[in-house]
A and B are shown apart, each in its own frame.
Chain A
Amino acid sequence: MDIRMAGVTKVFEPDIVALEDIYLDLDRGEFVYLVGATGSGKTTLLRIITREVVPSRGQIVVARRNLRSLRASQLPYYRRELGVVFQDYKLLPHLSVYENVAFVLETIGAPARVVRDRASYVIDQVGLWRLRDHYPQQLSGGEQQRVAIARAMVNSPSIFLADEPTGNLDLHTSEDIMKLLLSINAAGTTVIVATHDQYLVDAYRQRVVELHQGRIRRDEERGRYFVDGEL
C-alpha cells in the first residue's frame, strides 16, 4: 500500500471541518481522480499528503511513513518522494524553463552533471526543449503547466500529486497534459489528480474518489465524473 488514510479528519480554526473521517487506501502505481465541488476538501487532502497540513485526527501512512509521527528532520527526505503540480503552477518568474526544473535537483544537492542530464531529459519529455531558455511569462498556460509537470517529475518521485492540472486550459492542451500524467503513471508512479474536468475523467477512465463536504461520497474503479443517473 502506497497511501493509507484511516479516520483522517481536519478541522481548521475556529470550527471549519475540511475533511471528516476519511478512509482511503491507494496501491503503488494506481491512478486516482479526486473529484468534487469547490470546497469539498480535495486540496486539503493533497496538502495532508504533502504534510503541509496536519490532520486533527486519524492516521495517515504514505510510502511506509506515518505522517503524524514524522520528525521535522525527516520531512525533506519524505517530500523528495513526492512530485507536486500546483493549481497556479508556482513557477519562479526570474528563472528560465531549464532553471525552474533544475532548481529542484539543485536544492536537494544533486551533482551538476546529474542536474544537467536529468533536467534536460524531462524538459524534452514534456516537449519543451526548444523553449528551455524562455521565462514563464513568455509561455502559454499549457506550456507553463508542462514546466510544472517537468519540475514535479524531475527527481523521479514515487507519488505524483496534481491539483487541477488542466484548469483554465483548452481541451487539446488538457488532453496533452493528461497523456503526460498517464505516461508518468505507466512508469509505476502513483498519481493522484484533483480535478473538475468532467471530460477528461470520463475520457480517460480511472479510479474516481468523490469528496462531498469533506467526506468520501463515492470510490469507484474506472468511474465517471458523475454517478450514473445524476445528470
Chain B
Amino acid sequence: MANFRYALRDTFRLILRHWGLSFLTLITAVALFFLLGSSGLFSLNLKNLVAEVENDLVINVFIKAGEDASGLVEVLQDVDYITDLKVISPEKGLEILRAKLGSQARAVTLLGENPLPWNVQIQVIKADFVTPLVRDLMSFPSVEEVVYAGQLAEKLSLASLVMNRVSIAVLVLAITITALVLYNTVNISIYAKRGEIEIMLLVGATNTSIALPFVLQGMLLSTFGALVSVILLAGAYQYISVMLAGTLSFLVLIADRVLLMRFYIILVGTGMTLGWLCSWFAVHRYIAEASWPD
C-alpha cells in the first residue's frame, strides 16, 4: 500500500516535472483517440447504413402459371439466412395492385381474369447471400422468374467488405501511432530519470516499484487523452446528427444511446490499456537491462 502511495506521488511528480512533454503527449493522445473514435464511429454508421439497405433488399420470386408457391416455401423455410418470407397469392397481389393504382384501379378490370402469378418475397441477412440464393431459386422447377436488385446487392456486398478493411486499417494505424507516441514519452521520462533509477536499483527497489510510476504516467496520460477525445467526439457526433437530420434526412446516424455509450467506454478502455502496455514495454525493457548485468 505504501509502495502504491509513493508510486502515485511520483507519477504526479513525473507528469509535473516534464509538464511540457506531458502536455504534448496529452494533446497528441486526444488527437489520436479522436481520430480513432471518429474512424470507429464512421465505420459503425457505415455498417449500420449497409445493413439497413441490405434489410430492404427484396428478392421477388414469381411462380409459373398454374402452380402454387407451397413447394418453394417449404424449402425456403429451412434456410437460416432468410430473415423474412412473404407469400402473396394472385388474389392478394391484385388487391395490392389496386391499392397502388388508387383512382385508376378500375383499369385492372380490363385485364379480365387475374393474370398475376404466385409471388414469394424474400429478405436475407446480408447482401452476400443474394446472388447464390437467386442461382438456387432459378433452378427450382416451379419458378418462372426471379426479380432482384442484382448489381446493388453485389455493390453493397463489395462496399461493406472494402469499408470493413479500410476501418480496420485506420484503426490499426491510429493505434500504432498512439502506441509509438506514448512509448516515446515514457522513454524520454525514463531517460530523464535514469540517475534516479540507477540509485533505486542500487538501494534495493524492486523492478515493479521502479516501473510503477512510469506505467501509471503512461496510463494516466493516455486515459485522460481518451476521455477528453470522447467528450469532443460525443459533442461533434451530436452536432452532426442534428445537422444531418435537418439537411439530409434520409441519412440517419446511429442514435442508440446504449450502443454509443458502450463505444465511448471501449475507447477510454483502449486508451487505458494502450497506455499501460506501451509504458510497461518501455520501462520493462530499460529496467531489465539496467538491473541485471551479464
Contacts and interface: CB of A to CB of B under 8 A. Distances in A.
Interface of A: 50-54, 72, 75-80, 82, 84, 90, 92, 94, 103-104, 106-112, 151, 155
A72 B204 contact: no
B283 interface: no
B292 A106 contact: no
Interface of B: 2-3, 5-6, 17, 195-196, 198-207, 209-210, 291-294
Nearest to B205: A107
Contact of A54 (B2, B3, B199, B294): B294
A155 B17 contact: no
A92 B199 contact: yes
B2 A90 contact: no
A108 B292 contact: no
Contacts of A50: 202
Given A53-B293, A75-B291, A107-B205, A92 B6 contact: no
A109 to B, nearest CB: 4
Given A75-B291, A76-B206, A80-B203, A109 B198 contact: no
The 9 closest A-B pairs by CB, nearest first: A80-B204, A107-B205, A79-B204, A109-B3, A76-B204, A104-B203, A106-B6, A76-B206, A107-B200
Given A109-B2, A111-B2, A72 B291 contact: yes
A90 B206 contact: no
B195 A90 contact: yes
Contact of B195 (A54, A80, A92): A92
A159 to B, nearest CB: 12
B209 A107 contact: yes
9 contacts: A51-B293, A77-B204, A82-B204, A103-B199, A107-B209, A108-B209, A109-B6, A109-B209, A110-B2
Given A72-B291, A75-B292, A90 B199 contact: yes
B245 to A, nearest CB: 55
Contacts of B291: 72, 75
B203 A155 contact: yes
B228 to A, nearest CB: 29
Given A51-B293, A52-B202, A75-B291, 9 more contacts: A54-B294, A72-B291, A76-B206, A79-B202, A82-B202, A106-B2, A107-B205, A108-B205, A155-B204
Contacts of B206: 76
A103 B210 CA distance: 12
Contacts of B6: 106-107, 109
Contacts of A76: 201, 204-207
Contacts of A90: 195, 198-199
Given A90-B198, A111-B2, A54 B205 contact: no
A107 B198 contact: no
Contacts of A51: 293
A107 B293 CA distance: 21
Contacts of B201: 76, 79
B2 A112 contact: yes
A80 to B, nearest CB: 4
Given A76-B205, A107-B205, A108-B205, A94 B293 contact: no
B292 A72 contact: yes
Nearest to A72: B292
A128 B101 CA distance: 103
Contacts of B5: 112
A107 B210 contact: yes
B257 to A, nearest CB: 45
Contacts of A82: 202, 204
Nearest to B294: A54
Contacts of A109: 2-3, 6, 209
B96 to A, nearest CB: 79
Contacts of A151: 203
A108 B294 contact: no
Nearest to B290: A52
Contacts of B199: 90, 92, 103
Contact of A108 (B17, B198, B204, B293): B204
Contacts of B293: 51-54
